[in-house]
Amino acid sequence: MIRRKTLECGTLFVVLTGDITAQATDAIVNAANSRLAGGGGVDGAIHAKGGPEIMAECRKFGGCPTGYAVVTGAGRLKAKHVIHAVGPIYSGLTDDARLLALTYKKSLECAVKSGCKSVSFPSISTGAYGYPPADACPIAMKTCHDFVNDNPVIEEIHFVLFSDPDFALYVEQLEELK
Ligand code: AR6
């Protein structure tokens, strides 16, 4: 399933179901942990399909704080870069939303610094990290919308969802964006 919408700022938002490792955007974003140690979910899929050189590069960073991101090459993946972003572990406290928004913003800052024009995001923090998808979705899309309004260099953002209910949430939110 796929929906596309060009926003007033000129950036194309694409909402789709699928596997983020198959995306051919300049960068794909990994839902990483603060040790950059690999794991399950998106992280496991990216390292398994991208190959060991991605982990070799991750080790050089020695970790990344929650809310921030680092960039590596993409090994055997179609993308040119992997942006390893560390979303918050859901706590139910108000700081969750700030940290989740920061994670998307820092990821897009990494994309701009790396010369990327297109980026694919998973639904960060909503798997193992327990963030309710319905709360995370508007934060994800609004933060990206605000960013591209200020940084038109990003031409295309893909939101790659792993379930039909997540896809429906993103489509609903997409309809509200101008
Ligand atoms: N493509 C797109 N989305 C996916 C894929 C995929 N290949 N695989 C899972 N998802 P998660 P988090 C969805 O757990 O919550 C790891 O162990 C998944 O269904 O990958 O940020 C890390 O090492 C969910 O909707 O990331 C960390 O320790 C969303 O992606 C921790 O999990 C995010 O789920 C990070 O947890």
* 128-142 pLDDT, tens digit each: 999 999 999 999 999
Would you say the CB of residue 88 lies under 6 angstroms from ligand 1?
A: no
Q: What is the C-alpha to C-alpha distance for residues 107 and 7, in angstroms, rounded to an integer? A: 20
In the reported structure, the alpha carbon of residue 43 is separated from the centroid of ligand 1 by a whole-number distance in angstroms of 6
CATH (domain of 12)? 3.40.220.10
Nearest atom of ligand 1 to the alpha carbon of 38: 23
Give me the mean pLDDT over the 85-93 stretch: 98
Residue nearest to atom 33 of ligand 1 (CA): 127
Q: Model's pTM, two decimal places?
A: 0.99
Task: State the total domains in the chain.
Answer: 1
- Is residue 146 among the annotated active site residues? no
Which residues span the domain enclosing 16? 2-176
Would you say the CB of residue 144 lies under 6 angstroms from ligand 1?
A: no
Give me the mean pLDDT over the 134-155 stretch: 97
